[in-house]
Structure 1
Amino acid sequence: MNTFIIERWTQSGRLAVGAAALVLLVLALLPVLASGLVIDKLTTLFIYILVAVMWNLLAGYAGLVSVGQQAFFGVGGYLALRLVDAGMPPYLALVVGAAGAGLVAIPISTFALRLKGGEFAIAMWVIAEVLRIVVMFDPLVQGETGTSLLALNAFDPQMRRNLNYWLGLGALALMLGATFWLLRSRIGAAAQAIRDDEDAAASIGIDVMRIKQIIFVLAAFGCALAGTVWLASAITFLPRTNFGVQWTVFMLFMVLVGGLRTFEGPIIGAVIFFLLQEVFGNLGVWYLAGLGLVAVAFALYLPDGLWGFWRRRTGIDGLSSGVVLKAPTGS
């Protein structure tokens, strides 16, 4: 009988982690060298990568396809505004506001996760709209007019730009690390088992609701962090923008193009999306329609996305979220 060696780290995986650490170090030092425009653009890119990775965690690895993750993107920013209004320092409020959105996700999950498939997806969109309407009734937000995080104006513009950049980079590094660790843990393996066959997973003792809730709350917290970084960069809070369904369109596009159920795919998709937005973003509705058509084309004809296609053709796995079974040498 053949035996196999369980390999948790491939050579390409070790190289990828080393390269990622080096890139993170360079990015952390970049504000010293780069122009303000470059720093602003990279901050936006960090936000895109963060929401793409969170949607992939939820839909790709746990099978929870949501069209309402903008709910937490908006709630994170709103809670930060409320905390600043109560006297909390703005940058601390941004982090605490994101954590608060993660807490809000807990009671939402007890209802939403009882639904499956299309019911769950639609319910999340409805929840996002309800939260947007509730926030609009707050006098601080002033309805559709919105409000601004004026406390950030107390910071020197260059310092504020750099702090926003480091906040975005730190949030991205934290959530990428947490996601990678989670996917390689028992929780990640259980989530993927639930995605493949929920009834079978339950039959072998997996606590389906608990695993789903962990993934759901983590993804909500990550989206909320992205929302607070967006608020810090834009300063203005507009309910229709911060709770806009376009964020889900962006997430879906980035993940499908880069590669669903892969760790690297959403990052690649976010970079492509960022470049497309820089070139075609001023086309408005036609631009959004084009993104939708491209996403549908990838879903139909290249379901593994660009990274999945590359991995299948080359055999290079990069940052694997599981283990590799290898036959012993000479067997």
Structure 2
Amino acid sequence: MKTTSYSSTVSSTSAEPAPVAFAVERWTWLSKFSVSAVVAGQVLLALAPLVLDAGAIDRLTTLYIYGILALMWNALAGYAGLVSVGHQAFFGLGAYAAVRIADAGMPPYLALFVAAVVVAAAAIPLSSFMLRLKGGEFAIGMWVVAALCHLLVNLDGLVQGETGTSLISMQQVPTETRRLATYWFALAAMAGLAWCVFGLLRSKVGSALQAIRDSQEAAASVGIQVLPTKRLIFVLSAFGCALAGALWLATAVTFQPKTYFSVQWTAYMLFMVLVGGIGTYEGPIIGAILFFAVETAFGAAGVTYLIGLGLVAVLFALLLPKGVWGTIECRSGLQLLPVGYRLRTVRQSRMD
């Protein structure tokens, strides 16, 4: 474990305590155990279809898609301070691009990935305009972008307006093969994006993002390239949400614009991140699991279920503004995954 020590002494009277040293560390025994446990858990999840029934596989696939959405929205809002209420634009565009690319003759699962890449590429020029907006302007601007994308997709003759269309090439894949392939694709996508965010947060980019979130002017004054750094996380979130939309299409097969461009997807992202803990690495995953559990138990209740979600979100905002994991981390100092640094005090003997 790599540490850097800084010692602090006051005076040398015999009645005074020994000098104190401060060790800056990233890896602890707990973080090493946590990372090992996460890797082992991902391996077990990859083997889960060997013992689970079809219904359980489908539900876990849904959970992985929710996990992707929570991770991407938290990366954007929790670490870069870019609160979006229009990220359903990328979710819907990912599904739409997959339909279009597969219709051109590309194999369906390759089309899912290529569609996300295409949407991420489209997010680059879009970022040149959107990232100049701040605060509420950015949030409203993204909502306008989502509404505009919805209208433009409706004009495509292949989609037939709100009637929608299907991913025809996916229907030709045997049901069991499609279920397993989509499961593994969703798991790989969630794990890959989670480790990607983990790596970014441990790099200089992660520190830059958090500095920008706290104050763009102060970040720029110390040499941080604000716009390129924000563009990186914006494009990554666009890619992840587009891939989630394409994966949802693989599970549903049918594509209806009003479903995929619905603001409910951003509402789900907000709920998962706020309940789990915005600005924490573990929080979005915890929020996704809680949301998944609530949806599984009460999803059939219709409007009552949506009202319940809203009430739960309000209660968390009032009583636990840092979310579940944010509150635990704040009160206990517990950090499972080493995305930041910790300051540890070390007593030194006077003989040192």
Alpha-carbon deviation of 1:153?
Answer: 1.8
Specify the alignment match of 2:330 in structure 1: 312
Question: Is 1:257 matched with 2:275?
Answer: yes
- Flag the structure with higher helix content: 1
- Among 136, 146, 155, the residue aligned to 1:137: 155
Question: Is 1:210 matched with 2:228?
Answer: yes
Q: How does 1:1-331 map to 2 (within 5 A)?
A: 2=8, 4-330=22-348
Q: Deviations over 1:80-108 (max 9, x none)?
A: 11111111111000000011111111111
Q: Deviations over 1:220-264 (max 9, x none)?
A: 111111111100000011111111100011011111111111111
Question: Aligned with 1:4: secondary structure?
Answer: strand
Question: Aligned with 1:134: secondary structure?
Answer: helix
Distance 2:64 2:222 in 1: 39
Alpha-carbon deviation of 1:290?
Answer: 2.1
Distance 2:122 2:114 in 1: 12
Question: Aligned with 2:346: secondary structure?
Answer: coil
Specify the alignment match of 2:4 in structure 1: none
Specify the alignment match of 2:13 in structure 1: none
TM-score, normalised via structure 1 length: 0.97
- The structure with the larger Rg is 2
Distance 2:62 2:303 in 1: 20
Alpha-carbon deviation of 1:293?
Answer: 2.2
| 5+ long unaligned stretches in structure 2 | 1-6, 9-20
Question: Aligned with 1:272: secondary structure?
Answer: helix
Distance 1:148 1:11 in 2: 50
Q: Deviations over 1:136-159 (max 9, x none)?
A: 110111100111101112211111
Q: Deviations over 1:184-214 (max 9, x none)?
A: 1100100000001111001111111011000
Alpha-carbon deviation of 1:314?
Answer: 3.1
Aligned-residue sequence identity (percent) comes to 56
CA RMSD of aligned residues (A): 1.2
TM-score, normalised via structure 2 length: 0.92
Alpha-carbon deviation of 1:323?
Answer: 1.3
The count of aligned residue pairs is 331
> Are the equivalent residues in 2 in contact too, given 1:12–1:316 (CA < 8 A)?
no
Distance 2:211 2:55 in 1: 44
Distance 2:336 2:51 in 1: 30
Distance 2:27 2:151 in 1: 47
Distance 2:242 2:27 in 1: 31
> Are the equivalent residues in 2 in contact too, given 1:249–1:292 (CA < 8 A)?
no
Q: Deviations over 1:277-302 (max 9, x none)?
A: 11111222232222122212212221
> Are the equivalent residues in 2 in contact too, given 1:49–1:266 (CA < 8 A)?
yes
Question: Aligned with 1:5: secondary structure?
Answer: strand
Question: Aligned with 2:343: secondary structure?
Answer: strand
Distance 1:256 1:11 in 2: 29
Distance 2:154 2:28 in 1: 50
Alpha-carbon deviation of 1:329?
Answer: 4.4
